[in-house]
Structure 1
Amino acid sequence: MLGMLGHTFVSLIDNIMVGQLGSAELAAVSLGNSFIFIAMSLGIGFSTAITPLIAEADSEKNFKKGKSSFKHGLFLCTVLSLALFVLILLAKPLMYLMKQPEEVVILAMPYLDLVAFSLIPLIIFQGFKQFSDGLSLTKYPMYATILANVVNVVLNYILIFGKFGFPQMGIVGAAIGTLASRVIMLLFLWYILKNKKKSKAYVTNIRLFVLNNSMIKKILNLGFPSAMQMFFEVAIFTAAIWLSGLLGKNPQAANQIALNLSSMTFMVAMGLSVAAMVRVGNQKGLRDFVELRRIAFSIFLLGLGLAFIFAVLFLIFHNMLPKIYVDLNDVSNFSDNTEVVSIAATLLIASAIFQLSDSAQVIILGALRGLQDVKIPTLITFVAYWLIGFPISFFLGKEEAYGSFGIWLGLLVGLTSAAILLYIRFNYLTKRLISQEENNI
């Protein structure tokens, strides 16, 4: 959980520090990150294919299979990171076609260049992280993300505000901090893994360009649907950013605050999703499907319990939390900042309501990935988010309807639909596997 939260803390620090500059700067980071989030979802989603393969090989004590899975996964993550960087650069002109506030677009352009480049070390890091998680070595990626956050905070403070003789660079300074922290994060994790007995043989002497077509195909068959699952969910939240931009810079800045806070709690559920993926993958390798089901339901219940606590906290503090992101003592931006806080507080009520369904859907997805069942869940996520959730966000999110709150009502319906449908899928699959195993006995 802490490892997953590390990625979001980088964004949290960027948002809090940039928010002190004004609502236009915060909206610019939101717009730039909307492109980054889509690319990240594809990269992180694809890398999750590595974890169940490593977990299964680890429980079978099959080193050769595990190293092959890691090597091919790392190669594909590297290629994907380069492709996504180029695609974001090519997609930049879309900002001018999206009817976003002009001052926001101008600020977002230079920020996007640097953060797009940081995707390369981030997605390669994800390859190492997912491998490490598959071996149940989850604390080392956590150490790496903690270090990255320390570096990011220090560099943000120095470069955004121009401290210790450095020039005041604003949101470009935040982008430089993000890039540097992600490079250090990757190098640090590799250094740890190559010095640990359990992982050393995997991460050294890698013949990266000696490839096996069948293993590449296997990882692509797992990774591509997993990437699309995360893409469909992240894309609907990104669509919420763009829909908010149609309402103006203040609704867009408010949406960014609510989205950033919701991302924090989502990453806790993502941590449990990885746990579900690893433990289900272990039990799949052992072919103990009764224990697999028991473990999965234990993780589902833990996730729902934590989500309930987060929901209560959002409801209690929905008026206070947005104030962290803006400077209400800034006289020149006081009216804008007050409006941002007011809208964000309303959105956090919607976020509180969907905490349970958001947590459930991502943890169940992790369990299904552990079973290496990815194609039907991909279809489920597309239906839930884009055929059910997005039309509601689009129609209720218009200024003459419910505005920003209407956008988030669509997110609520989409997440709840996904949670219900994915649970039905997991329940059906595990009961069938148990029945087949009993018949074989």
Structure 2
Amino acid sequence: MRNLIATYKGHYKALFYLGIPIVIGQIGVIVLGFADTLMIGHHSTVELGAASFVNNLFNLAIIFSTGFSYGLTPVVGSLYGVRKLASAGQALRCSLLANFLVGLLLTFIMWILYLNIERLGQPDELIPLIKPYFIILLVSLVFVLLFNGFKQFTDGITDTRTAMWILLGGNLLNIVGNYILINGKLGFPELGLVGAGISTLFSRIVMLVVFAFVFFSSRRFMRYKFGFFRLGWSKPVFRQLNALGWPVGLQMGMETASFSLSTVMVGWLGTIALASHQVMLTISQFTFMMFYGMGAAVAVRVSNFKGQNDMVNVRRTAYAGAHVILAMGVVLLSIVYLLRYHLGGWFTDNEEVSMMIVVLMGPFLAYQFGDGMQINFANALRGISDVKPMMLIAFIAYFVISLPAGYFFGFVLEWGLFGVWMAFPFGLSSAALMLWLRFRYKTK
């Protein structure tokens, strides 16, 4: 044990230094998700069901776009590791263009989905609430992608604090806007779910504008701005970003799709099941976002060492990340377990929903360690730019294993919502195993 600590001590410290600001920023996202669900749930259970459906569809687009933007991290991280700062600035410029084009593509795809929304088998009472909320979130997609471009750039140069402060400020603005517009405060009309959508759109625009202002006006980014403006566009860099971004986006998108398509199945079970599903997904963000914050730090450190061709420290960084995430999991899951009988009442006054939350705690706790490990080793592979095999791994774990299992448990065995959730431990744990084996093979 003493030798283990001595070997990894420096890596633990570096990961905490990089990861804690990212985790804090993610906590802001978690608090926003909690606040959204709390305020909408207490406004009406029907609106909570509609929010569950729309948010899960958009989570698929947003997580894919976040994964696509992650293609910038190994590029910038490797350049930063060998102090090619102007080239890192050029990579940011190319990344913003790539993210903008992907944002337009995703907006078009989601618009086609909107035109067919009534064919997805959701309760009729939810459709009038789903449609306007869907349109507002659709407008915000491009702003999310451009923000991600700036965030992955600053993370890649080990400046994780800038994005943290902007995320915290933007999420606070969103929460205040929710309170005002959902409930009709300070002279504004009571807009309910539509008010939550407007607040989200406004905060996303503000966060992008602030990030761009910080980058272009601050002297500490001077050498990066030289590359951004003077080196111009680079087709090789643009192709490299796409070659890395699409596989990561598809890998993360397939993971999220297993949850989003599960939401469509949950909708077949009715409004109460959808509302319960939304509350559990909000609770699951508590662990997922914090794991992903530390996983992002693993990707940055791994890419820095990969740029220096130091494979020993690439491996040590990845395993140090696994140790940290496992420790985080023990602490976070203990908190959730102790609060299991109280969580439902925080989000809704509906007794059926509150009781279902307690029932779903079993499968939720069962998949957390698999989720943490697949996040860690997916980010480690991203850091060494070994991303294409991740698509096949994700397809097997989520489309071959998780989704069919959810349908089998939920509808063939007639376990209902509990059965749909029982599939997640199988999908996430199998992904973790395959990603770990791939990382071990590539770095042995």
The answer to whether the Cα contact below 8 Å between 2:87 and 2:224 also exists between their aligned partners in 1 is: no
1:57 aligned residue: 79
2:368 is the counterpart of 1:346: no
Match 1:19 to one of 23, 32, 41: 41
Match 2:390 to one of 354, 362, 377: 377
AA aligned to 1:292 is V
The answer to whether the Cα contact below 8 Å between 1:194 and 1:204 also exists between their aligned partners in 2 is: no
Distance across 2 between alignment mates of 1:249 and 1:346: 17
Greater mean alpha carbon deviation, residues 207-216 or residues 422-431: 207-216
Match 1:408 to one of 394, 415, 421: 421
Distance across 1 between alignment mates of 2:366 and 2:220: 42
Number of equivalences: 422
Structure 1 residue 207, shift from structure 2 partner: 5.1
The answer to whether the Cα contact below 8 Å between 2:333 and 2:365 also exists between their aligned partners in 1 is: yes
Distance across 1 between alignment mates of 2:30 and 2:120: 26
Q: Deviations over 1:258-282 (max 9, x none)?
A: 0111012101111111101100000
Structure 1 residue 288, shift from structure 2 partner: 1.1
SS in structure 2 at match of 1:143: helix
AA aligned to 1:425 is R
Structure 1 residue 205, shift from structure 2 partner: 8.0
1:38 aligned residue: 60
Structure 1 residue 105, shift from structure 2 partner: 1.9
2:5 aligned residue: none
SS in structure 1 at match of 2:76: helix
Distance across 1 between alignment mates of 2:226 and 2:131: 39
Structure 1 residue 208, shift from structure 2 partner: 11
SS in structure 2 at match of 1:110: helix
Structure 1 residue 57, shift from structure 2 partner: 0.2
AA aligned to 2:195 is G
Q: Deviations over 1:128-166 (max 9, x none)?
A: 000000011101111011111111111111111111111
Greater mean alpha carbon deviation, residues 199-208 or residues 410-419: 199-208
SS in structure 1 at match of 2:185: coil
1:72 aligned residue: 94
Distance across 2 between alignment mates of 1:199 and 1:397: 52
Q: Deviations over 1:169-206 (max 9, x none)?
A: 01000001101111111122222233444424435784
For 1:308-319, list aligned pairs within 5 A.
308-319=330-341
2:157 aligned residue: 135
Distance across 1 between alignment mates of 2:222 and 2:346: 43
AA aligned to 1:87 is I
1:117 aligned residue: 139
Distance across 1 between alignment mates of 2:427 and 2:230: 40
Give the TM-score taking structure 2 as reference length.
0.92
Identical pairs, percent: 32
Q: Deviations over 1:291-315 (max 9, x none)?
A: 1211211111100111122222222
Match 1:165 to one of 182, 187, 190: 187
Pick closer, same or farther for the CA change 1:208–1:38 going to 2, 3 Å. farther
Distance across 2 between alignment mates of 1:56 and 1:7: 28
Greater mean alpha carbon deviation, residues 161-170 or residues 184-193: 184-193
2:439 aligned residue: 426
Structure 1 residue 85, shift from structure 2 partner: 1.9
The answer to whether the Cα contact below 8 Å between 1:19 and 1:25 also exists between their aligned partners in 2 is: yes
Mark the runs of 5 or more structure 2 residues left unpaired by the alignment: 1-22
The answer to whether the Cα contact below 8 Å between 1:160 and 1:174 also exists between their aligned partners in 2 is: yes
Distance across 1 between alignment mates of 2:219 and 2:391: 37
Structure 1 residue 64, shift from structure 2 partner: 3.3
Distance across 2 between alignment mates of 1:208 and 1:352: 51
AA aligned to 1:271 is G
AA aligned to 1:34 is N
Greater mean alpha carbon deviation, residues 422-431 or residues 206-215: 206-215
Structure of greater relative contact order (alpha carbons < 8 Å, 6+ residues apart): 2
Pick closer, same or farther for the CA change 1:112–1:208 going to 2, 3 Å. farther
Give the TM-score taking structure 1 as reference length.
0.92
Distance across 2 between alignment mates of 1:351 and 1:69: 39
1:439 aligned residue: none
2:299 aligned residue: 277
Distance across 1 between alignment mates of 2:411 and 2:223: 56
AA aligned to 1:31 is F
Mark the runs of 5 or more structure 1 residues left unpaired by the alignment: 329-336, 432-441
